[in-house]
Amino acid sequence: MSSPPLLNWIELSRSALERNVKALAKLVRGRLLAPSVKANAYGHGLPQIVSMLTRSKQVDYLSVHSIEEAIVCREHGWSRRLLLLGPVSLAALDLVAERDIEPVVFDTETLNGLGKLSKRTGKTIRAHIKLETGTNRQGITEKELPAFAKIFKKYPLLQPFGASTHFANIEDTTSHEYAQYQLEQFVSLVERLRVLGIGPKVRHTASSAAMILFSKTHFEMVRPGISLYGHWPSKETYVSFHMKGRHNDLFEPALAWKTRVTQLKQIKAGEFIGYGCTYRTSAPTKLAVLPIGYYDGYDRALSNQSYVLIKGKRAPVRGRICMNLMMVDITHIPGVKLHDPVTLIGRDGRERITAEQLAAQAGTINYELLARLSAAIPRLIVR
């Protein structure tokens, strides 16, 4: 498996993913685990991640953003529960019943549509009410709750099964007053739901950072995303966890990105490299051309910034990242041959390039860097 006949591929470690699932399950002992596989499973490849999670008994739900992602999960063998976090077009609501999906609901039009659907199909629909606690994104406010309650009362097969919220400010800080405030809002809104006769069975608020740092946010279910794939939500989360005196090696990254040298060339001192002539050699230079560009998700902001690994050594990017190609300096790496493997993310010998490191060099976060890995790159499951 170390040498597939490809020029651009992603390797997914089954053992790393299994280890991360175990670590998450241990953190929330007995709660329902609803990991997020939105954004093509954070760029890892939705079909591959679903096929691996299907084998794990510890995962109860998968959380998706779109109805299309929910269908991909079903088509790749996921028969357990599905939580739909994002919006669904009213014209596509039938799929909720057909595919047995549990939507998070944040408007009365959708809730009404689901009620009618439950009546027409005779199927129970489990809805999750998204509560506004201070993120000001999808939730509904206290004054909208009676209208929701009325719709639930009208349709007996429409169940107020879940209630959820999402924290605005856990991963970006080591001070967590705002999260505490949102948690209090959530508890009080759930109490209102109970008073209105639509109390939820399953409450869920925690993404990775909340789940890792605050057991009070666990309730009956958690929705970790980035940590499933072996990444910390942020340095602040890592530091906060460390300050609580806990150990830091909970997760292991599941993804490695590889390519091959597809051209070698020797150039003289004083020559330019690539578009815009942004790099000029100061000595004779040996270059390797790689068939990777910003189309693949190798951010153009990495031009002249990052490096790749060849034969266990760092090869710095020279010049601009192109659409489909990039150039790296291998002057100091002896014996590089055409089609030798190259590591863009992952380990090679004693060196390692992390998604966090590339994200910092590109001026973004690990989430974005991973989510933007092109879905067209082949994904191979290893070990």
Active site residues: 38, 275
Min CB(303)–ligand PLP separation in Å: 28
Q: Are 312 and 346 in contact (CB under 8 A)?
A: no
Min CB(129)–ligand PLP separation in Å: 13
The whole-angstrom separation of Cα 13 and Cα 90 is 38
Q: Which is nearer to ligand PLP, 40 or 207 (CB)?
A: 207
Sequence-distant contacts of 181-188: CB under 8 A, at least 24 apart: 181/134, 182/133, 182/134, 182/135, 183/133, 183/214, 183/216, 183/217, 185/131, 185/133, 185/134, 186/131, 186/133
Residue 131 neighbours by CB under 8 Å, 6+ apart: 139, 140, 163, 164, 165, 185, 186, 189, 190
Using DSSP's 3-state secondary structure scheme, residue 262 falls into coil
Q: Which is nearer to ligand PLP, 78 or 232 (CB)?
A: 232
Q: Region of 346 please: left (phi>0), alpha (psi -120 to 50) or beta.
A: left
Residue 133 neighbours by CB under 8 Å, 6+ apart: 139, 165, 182, 183, 185, 186, 189
Q: Are 12 and 380 in contact (CB under 8 A)?
A: yes
Min CB(246)–ligand PLP separation in Å: 18
Calculate Rg over the CA atoms of the chain: 24
DSSP state, residue 337: -
User: What is the binding site for ligand PLP (CB under 6 A)?
Assistant: 36, 38, 85, 166, 207-208, 223-227, 233
Instruction: Concatenate the DSSP letters of all residues of 176-219 into one string.
Output: -HHHHHHHHHHHHHHHHHHHTT---SEEEEE-HHHHHH-GGG-T
Q: Which residue has the tokens 């994104």?
A: 137
Q: Which is nearer to ligand PLP, 165 or 259 (CB)?
A: 165
Min CB(209)–ligand PLP separation in Å: 6
The whole-angstrom separation of Cα 287 and Cα 265 is 5
Q: Which residue has the tokens 């856990």?
A: 170
Amino acid at 310: I
Min CB(152)–ligand PLP separation in Å: 22
Min CB(339)–ligand PLP separation in Å: 36
The whole-angstrom separation of Cα 146 and Cα 342 is 59
Min CB(308)–ligand PLP separation in Å: 26
Which residue's CB comes closest to ligand PLP? 225
Q: Are 155 and 119 in contact (CB under 8 A)?
A: yes
The whole-angstrom separation of Cα 320 and Cα 259 is 18
